[in-house]
Amino acid sequence: MPARAVWKGAISFGLVSIPVKTYGAISEHKTGMRMLCPKCKSPLQYKRICPKGHGEIPWENIIKGYEVQKGKYVPLTQKDLEKLELKAGRLIEIFQFVDISNLDPIYFDNSYFLVPDANGEKPYFLLRQALEEYDKIALGRFVFHEKEHLVALRPYEGAVLMETLHYADEIRTPNDFAELKTPVEVDKDELELAGQLIRILKKPFAYKEYKDRYQEGLSKLVEAKMKGEEELVEVRVPEIKPTKNLMETLKASIRSHDKR
């Protein structure tokens, strides 16, 4: 389990209050690369310099500001922001239950595990089992990192997983792109061949079979560099060519899989 919860509060489920701790569910791959000085190879530092001549500002002295006009800010202290969070309450307020099919994946943002805090075990597992039993997800909202988030709570491998959601006005639509406004007519035979290729490639998706190939290649490159070996790492870059004859290319794709 991660060393520190990123948020503590309670799920509000009707009149039921479920104390919970929140942990990030994702541990992304890090390349370990830094930007270096080309002369001495020291990592570059970033400083918070005031543009009006007050020098470097230490982290503990920095305040935040809300831009009300171009270049005009209302300063806000950490105490101001904490008051807002207290007023909002440290609650994940459930207001609706829906089928998972009602939520398009484009709305999903970050994932967090909700874990029962002291005296929260029984109502926590009741909620988890109810979501599983009735095949529903809970929609709610809570204040986190100076923003009220919409969230979806769903059962996941014995736990309750919370997904933060984007708001509707944060999502771009296909209408934003001129290239999508005039669809090209698709030939019926081409569509049938595409369906045949899809059926050939269809199989259950096994997440554990897939690795970060770039990260693996980078590790090999670093190891080779440390040994003074410059040319041992093979970098495979597929050649990208526009498809000129779509029908023949689809047929060739199918033939290549038939031979396997």
Q: Which helix (H) or strand (E) holds 149?
A: strand 148-156
* Other beta carbons within 10 Å of 100: 11
How much is the average pLDDT of 4-14? Answer: 90
Tokens 């942990």 appear where? Answer: 23
pLDDT in tens, 186-208: 889 889 988 888 888 888 877 77
For residue 209, count CB atoms less than 10 angstroms from its CB and return exposed for 0-12, middle for 13-18, buried for 19 or more.
exposed
Specify the pLDDT at position 234: 58
pLDDT cut 90: percent of the chain above it: 34
* Three-state DSSP class for residue 185: coil
Cβ(110)–Cβ(142) under 8 Å? no
85 pLDDT band, cuts 50/70/90, is low
pTM for this model (two decimals): 0.73
At 223, give phi and psi (nearest 5°). -60, -45
Question: Bigger pLDDT: 133 or 253?
Answer: 133
How much is the average pLDDT of 171-198? Answer: 89
Question: Helices (DSSP H) in 38-113: which residue ranges?
Answer: 78-88
Specify the pLDDT at position 208: 79
Tokens of 180: 């999508």
* Other beta carbons within 10 Å of 94: 20
Non-local (6+) Cβ contacts of 80 within 8 A are none
Sketch out the chain's domains with CATH numbers. 7-28+51-170 (2.40.290.10), 184-258 (no CATH)
* Three-state DSSP class for residue 24: strand
Tokens 């014995």 appear where? Answer: 158
Cβ(18)–Cβ(138) under 8 Å? no
pLDDT in tens, 196-248: 888 888 888 777 777 777 677 777 777 777 777 765 555 555 666 777 777 78
